[in-house]
A and B are shown apart, each in its own frame.
Chain A
Amino acid sequence: MTVLLLLTILAVLAAAGYVLGRRRALAVAGGDPKQLHSLPGFYGWHTAILAFVPGFLVLLLWLVIQPLVIERGVAAHLPESVQADPAARQLALADVRRVASGLDVALSQGALTEGAIAALDASATDLRAKLGEVGVALGAAVSPEVLAAAKDYREATARAATLRAVVIIALALGGLAWALKRIAPDFWARNRVEKVVLWLLMLASLIAILTTIGIIWSMLSESINFFRQYPIGDFFFGLTWSPKFGGGSELGFIPLFWGTIYITVIALLVAVPLGLFAAIYLAEYASKRTRSWIKPMIEVIAGIPTVVYGLFALITVGPFLRDVFAQPFGLGSSGSSVMTAGVVIGILNIPFISSLSDDIINAVPQSLRDGSFGIGATRSETIRQVVLPAALPGIAGAILMGASRAIGETMIVVMGAGAAAKLSLNPFEAMTTMTVKIVGQLTGDTDFHSPETLVAFALGMTLFVITLCLNVLAVWIVRKYREQYE
């Protein structure tokens, strides 16, 4: 019985539980809901929960434990030498699983019968060719040990599936019956149901924490693997980035870091003045009507996917900068450059900076402005000497967050910055960033356990730490230097 079918059965039993529980509650109360502690629906829910939850939890647990138990049993068929070596054992078990699932496919397509499988002899029939016919590709010919293990595996799985179905359905029925039996006018069904719901809500909010743990765990474990193969000092202080397939790669972090920082600085040089002035105009000069039109239009910039900006950088901005600036001044002949990526990321960040600054400027109390106007300052003097100083911590925070976004930006740099890791000051040269290399190393065809691939996790970890620090710093600055009005 498949997992999906079991889940359906559980759901049906739960639905039945709701109806039966509700009906029984009413019957117990003699048809008068006022005699009950809780509304009849709660008795229904209580029954449904007891029918569904225990079976569901056992099913989850079963799904985790079953493969472990079966594999231990099956591994006994494998030769001693294979059992001793964990890597070889893993490979052999993967073979066993593949053969077993291949036999299942062959069975479902009618190429083999249950009896034929039992009589299969690895030395007599070419199982690999046979399974190839039904569309199951095997890497190597099937050895007798693997075939025996695979047969065993199938049997054990089938036995386990039957047992699982029996246990779970029994649990569900038991839960249902027990819940029905407990229904009485003075049974506090609502409180119990609400407690379960509260638990569910709490579990949902734990997912945020699990995500963070997942991020840190996944990157940390692979980064540690990487640093076992490649010295940590060479990574963080190496000046050359030249991964080679055959080994002997130099994986220095500095050129990537330099490219990232350079692009981020250019992006901020574009985004901060434009975003800040736009915010000032919108907050201080624009009429309400203009504001209600312009603000959403600027926010459209942030709503367009970054890959669109990447294409814009690749086919419009890059060639334009190359033909107008780089080539006439002899600065380079590449369309993809630090400048291209920086300018485009800057444009993308304008709405981010402007809407954050806009909020901050609006939070400065009107009384400060009125005071300034009262002693004769013009609007721009008020803005420069009163509003901006008051809003400065918030704006600094916004700029730091903008920097963090620019550092983590991926598609625009992948398509617009180039792939050559260089340490150069020329902004019209192609350089590369951490995010470009994460994509490059993880989408290639290299062996997953080679340092050339694992370096991406170390880069990801570094990226995560840098952006996290910038964000924490931004929040800290805003908290610490915020003026408390009123």
Chain B
Amino acid sequence: MSDTTATLPGEPKRGSILVASDRMRRRNRIEGIFRWLGLTAIVASLSVLALMLFTIFRDGSSAFFQAKLSFPVTLEAQVLDPAGNRSRDEMVKQTTVTYGKVLEGAFLAALAEKGIQTADIPEKDIRTMLSKAGPGELRARVLAEPGLLGQTIEVTVLAGGRIDGYLKGRVTMQSAERDGNVTTEQLVLADRLKDAGMLGLSWNWNFLTNPDASDQRPEAAGLGVAIIGSAFMMVLVLIMCVPVGVASSIYLEEFAPKNRFTDLIEVNIANLAAVPSIVYGILGLAIFINFAGFPQSSSLVGALVLSLQTLPTVIIATRASIRAVPPSIRDAALGVGASRMQTVFHHVLPLAMPGILTGTILGLASALGETAPLLLIGMVAFVSNHPSGPLDGGILDPATALPVQVYSWATRSDPAFIERSNGAIIVLLVFLLAMNVTAILLRRKFERRW
């Protein structure tokens, strides 16, 4: 064999392994670049994620605080209860217009009393600094407690959306000049009110409890209906989807004969997992609403659609964890005389439970964030009343869901709703985080390697 080396045409270029040749240096440089590209891809992806979360928290955290004005209001009995008998049926005849006048009068009086200079501002502009939601709240308070009539009470009412924005830095003097809904004089007055201690930002529980509000009152809009709707749907998905998902996984893993029919089911499940979510919305609209006649925008229809959509995820996760239970467990159970059904329900299923739970929680989390199918079944409609309790048919009442509320606020023209939208995302992300952390903890605690 040595003669072949002797006949080589020309000497190969010799190099030292201690001194890198040009070629080797180039190869090493490419190596470095390649590695650097991989790192860049990861850093880029994660920084976009960080940027997105940062903008959401920057723009959204202020939704949890709200500008409120506080001043004393004298509730004149002659004005609010002309009949004078304090009966609720008589008092409801006084509309929010009357209460609005009372509130505005009290506000002007309070300004005069505190000696705040208002001469340079038209009276109408002072009035519009109060939120349009204020009179309704005062009316509800008086109707609930007629004894307040005739007294002077300290009220805290929402300031208008633009004043709120000014306190949070969203509205500035420059933007106010171009804005038809607010004047710079109002902002100057807002500064004076702030100094006098009548106006300030405070924690806003209403953001989590109020229903949605109309375009003119962004300051009163809240997530109450959306949170209830999402909660109803999650519970219903849990009730409807998990038993069916687990049952069908058990059948497919443990009992199904290998034939055309079970192959068909398998292919079906794989394909259903990849169907775009909006298609489930079309299914829900055509079958549950138009064909079966369930009420539009109800949590029940939303939950049915989300259950169908989550089913493949639950089935895939459940099957994986059933498969992970070693056959020796089954053999042992069968060996001591258990039937196949007993083997599955007494041994395999309990051992697969942690995996099933984790998969289920992750499936629920993705259902919680789903928006598109819910738009098609009408959950994007404006809902101003809380649904009733679950036992009073609340699942048939119109509701919205958290992600849908994010969308519907984002499409409104007033920039104050963008803050609300980001705030809603924060709430949504907190729920998602909680679910994912639960799933991870469950996995850590119960994970078992065979």
Given contacts A311-B421, A311-B422, A347-B45, contact A208 B287 (CB under 8 A): no
Binding-face segment, B24-32, B102-110, B150-158, B213-221: B24-32
CB of B271 to closest CB in A, whole Å: 6
Residue B119 lies at the interface, judged by CB distance under 8 Å to chain A: no
**In the complex, A463 Cα to B280 Cα: how many Å?**
12
In the complex the two chains form, what is the Cα distance from A335 to B28 in whole Å?
A: 43
Residues of A near B340 (CB, < 8 A) are: 194
Q: Which of A212, A351, A379 has the most CB of B within 10 A?
A: A212
B372 within 8 A of A: yes
Q: Which of B30, B37, B269, B311 contacts A277 (CB 8 A)?
A: B37
Assuming A310-B410, A415-B407, A457-B286, is B28 touching A211 (CB within 8 A)? no
Q: Is A411 an interface residue (CB 8 A)?
A: yes
| A209 beta carbon closer than 8 Å to chain B | yes
User: Which of B49, B281, B308, B422 is within 8 Å of A301, CB to CB?
Assistant: B49
Given A298-B46, A308-B406, A467-B276, decide whether A281 and B39 contact each other with a Cβ distance below 8 A. Answer: yes
Inter-subunit contact B41/A214 (CB<8 Å): no
CB pair A211 B255 closer than 8 Å: no
The listed residue with most A CB atoms (<10 A of its CB), out of B27, B245, B283, is: B283
Interface residues of A in 62-105 (CB under 8 A from B): none
Nearest chain B CB to A199 CB, angstrom units:
10
Q: Which of B264, B276, B432 contacts A435 (CB 8 A)?
A: B276
> Assuming the A-B contacts A274-B41, A310-B407, A347-B48, are A378 and B268 also in contact, with contact meaning beta carbons closer than 8 angstroms in the complex?
no
B418 pairs with A315, CB closer than 8 A: yes
Instruction: Given A222-B286, A304-B369, A378-B27, decide whether A408 and B277 contact each other with a Cβ distance below 8 A.
Output: yes
| Chain A residues whose C-beta falls within 8 Å of the C-beta of B51 in the assembled complex | 316
Known: A214-B283, A308-B406. A380 touches B34 (CB 8 A): yes
**Residue among A285, A304, A409 with the most chain B CB within 10 A?**
A304
B285-306, CB < 8 A from A: 285-287, 290-291
Given the interface pairs A212-B271, A381-B27, the reply to whether A201 lies near B410 with Cβ below 8 Å is no
Chain A 301-312: CB-based contact to B (< 8 A → 1; otherwise 0): 101111111111
| B27 to A, closest residue via Cβ | A378
Q: Any chain A CB within 8 A of the CB of B333?
A: no
- Contact across chains for A379 and B276 when beta carbons are under 8 A apart: no
Q: How distant is the Cα of A393 from the Cα of B345 in the complex, in angstroms?
A: 40
Check B436–A303 contact: CB distance below 8 A: yes
Interface residues of B in 18-60 (CB under 8 A from A): 27-28, 30-31, 34-35, 37-42, 44-46, 48-49, 51-52, 55-56, 59
**Residue interface bits B341-383, CB-to-A below 8 A is 1, else 0:** 1000000000000000000000001101111100110101000
How far is it, in angstroms, between the C-alpha of A463 and the C-alpha of B375 when the chains are bound? 17
Task: Tell me whether A438 and B46 are in contact (CB under 8 A).
Answer: no
Chain A, range 297-334, C-beta contacts under 8 Å to B = 297-298, 300-301, 303-312, 314-316
In the complex, what residues of B have CB within 8 A of residue A316's CB? 51-52, 55
**Does B247 contact A204, Cβ atoms closer than 8 Å?**
yes
Q: Are A190 and B365 in contact (CB under 8 A)?
A: no
B370 cross-chain contacts in A, Cβ below 8 A? 305
B283 touches A205 (CB 8 A): no
Chain A residues in 8 Å Cβ range of B436? 303
User: Which residues 383-432 of B sit at the A interface, judged by CB distance below 8 A?
Assistant: 403-404, 406-407, 410-411, 418, 421-422, 425, 428-429, 432
Chain B residues within 8 Å of A378, by CB: 27-28, 30-31
Q: Are A207 and B432 in contact, CB atoms less than 8 angstroms apart?
A: no
**What total of A-B pairs shows CB separation below 8 Å?**
248
> B425 to A308, Cβ gap below 8 A?
yes
Residues of B near A311 (CB, < 8 A) are 56, 406, 410, 421-422, 425
- For residue B287, which residues in chain A have a CB less than 8 angstroms away from its CB? 214, 218
- Residues on A with C-beta less than 8 A from B256 are 205
**CA A277 to CA B315, docked complex, whole Å:** 31
Does A350 have its Cβ within 8 Å of any Cβ on chain B?
A: yes
- Inter-subunit contact A404/B45 (CB<8 Å): no
**Chain B residues with Cβ under 8 A from A460's Cβ?**
278-279, 282
Q: Shortest CB–CB separation between residue B104 and chain A, in angstroms?
A: 34
Interface: A50 (CB within 8 A): no
In the complex, which residues of chain B have a beta carbon less than 8 angstroms from the beta carbon of A219?
279, 282-283, 286
| Chain A residues in 8 Å Cβ range of B429 | 304, 308
Query: What is the number of residues of chain B that contact chain A, defined by CB distance less than 8 Å?
Result: 86
A383 within 8 A of B: yes
- CB of B375 within 8 A of CB of A443, answer yes
Q: Is A471 among interface residues, defined by CB-CB distance under 8 A? A: yes
Contact A194:B339 (CB < 8 A) given known A347-B45, A347-B48, A410-B278? yes
A464 within 8 A of B: yes
Cα A280 to Cα B37 in complex, Å, equals 10
Prevailing SS type, chain A contact patch? helix
Would you give the shortest CB distance from B137 to chain A, in whole angstroms? 25
Chain A 442-477: CB-based contact to B (< 8 A → 1; otherwise 0) = 110000100000001100100110011001100100
A136 to chain B, nearest CB (A): 15
Residues of A within 8 A of B410 (CB): 310-311, 314-315, 415
Q: Nearest B residue to A463 by beta-carbon distance?
A: B276
Interface bits A389-432 vs B (CB < 8 Å: 1, else 0): 00000000000010011011111001100000000000000000
A141 within 8 A of B: no
Residue from B290, B370, B376 with most neighbouring chain A CB atoms (10 Å): B376
Q: What's the minimum C-beta distance from B423 to chain A, rounded to whole angstroms?
A: 11
Is A58 interfacial (CB-CB < 8 Å)? no
Q: A304-B369, A311-B422 are in contact. Are A464 and B275 (CB under 8 A)?
A: yes
CA–CA, A278 and B35, complex, Å: 10
- Cα of A207 to Cα of B244 in the assembled complex, Å: 8
Residues facing B in A165-222 (CB within 8 A) are: 190, 194, 197-198, 200-202, 204-209, 211-212, 214-215, 218-219, 221-222
Residues in A with CB closer than 8 Å to B39 are: 281, 285
Most buried by A among B27, B252, B279, B312: B279
Residue from B31, B38, B369 within 8 A of A280 (CB atoms):
B38
Confirm or deny: A282 has a beta carbon within 8 angstroms of a beta carbon on chain B: yes
Task: Tell me the smallest distance from the CB of B39 to a CB of chain A, in Å.
Answer: 6
CB distance from B375 to the nearest CB of A (A): 6
Which chain B residues lie closer than 8 Å to A198 at the CB level?
Answer: 251, 255, 341
Bound-state CA distance A177–B371 (Å) is 50
Which B residues are in CB contact (< 8 Å) with A407?
A: 276
- When A205-B256, A435-B278 are in contact, do A274 and B44 touch as well, CB less than 8 Å? yes
Is B91 in the interface zone, CB < 8 Å from A?
A: no
Complex: chain A residue closest to B411, CB-CB: A415
Select from chain B the residue with minimum beta-carbon distance to A302: B366
Closest to B273 in A: A471
Among A204, A351, A456, find the residue whose CB has the most chain B CB atoms closer than 10 A.
Answer: A204
Report Cα–Cα, A221/B287, bound state, in Å. Answer: 11
Give the residue among A207, A208, A281 with the most B Cβ atoms within 10 A.
Answer: A208
B442 interface hit (Cβ, 8 Å): no
Closest 8 CB pairs of A and B: A408-B276, A305-B369, A281-B38, A218-B286, A205-B248, A204-B247, A277-B41, A380-B34
Q: What are 25 A-B interface contacts by the 8 Å CB criterion? A: A194-B340, A198-B341, A202-B251, A204-B245, A205-B252, A208-B265, A209-B264, A212-B271, A215-B280, A221-B286, A284-B38, A298-B46, A303-B432, A304-B429, A304-B432, A306-B371, A311-B422, A347-B48, A354-B45, A384-B34, A435-B278, A438-B376, A443-B375, A468-B275, A471-B271
Residue positions of B touching A, CB distance < 8 A: 27-28, 30-31, 34-35, 37-42, 44-46, 48-49, 51-52, 55-56, 59, 243-245, 247-248, 250-252, 255-256, 264-265, 268-272, 274-283, 285-287, 290-291, 308, 311-312, 315, 339-341, 365-366, 368-372, 375-376, 378, 380, 403-404, 406-407, 410-411, 418, 421-422, 425, 428-429, 432, 436
With A380-B30, A464-B276 given, can you name 20 additional A-B contacts, CB distance below 8 Å?
A194-B340, A201-B248, A204-B251, A205-B256, A206-B248, A219-B286, A277-B37, A277-B38, A278-B41, A285-B39, A303-B432, A305-B432, A308-B406, A315-B55, A347-B45, A347-B48, A401-B274, A415-B407, A435-B276, A457-B286
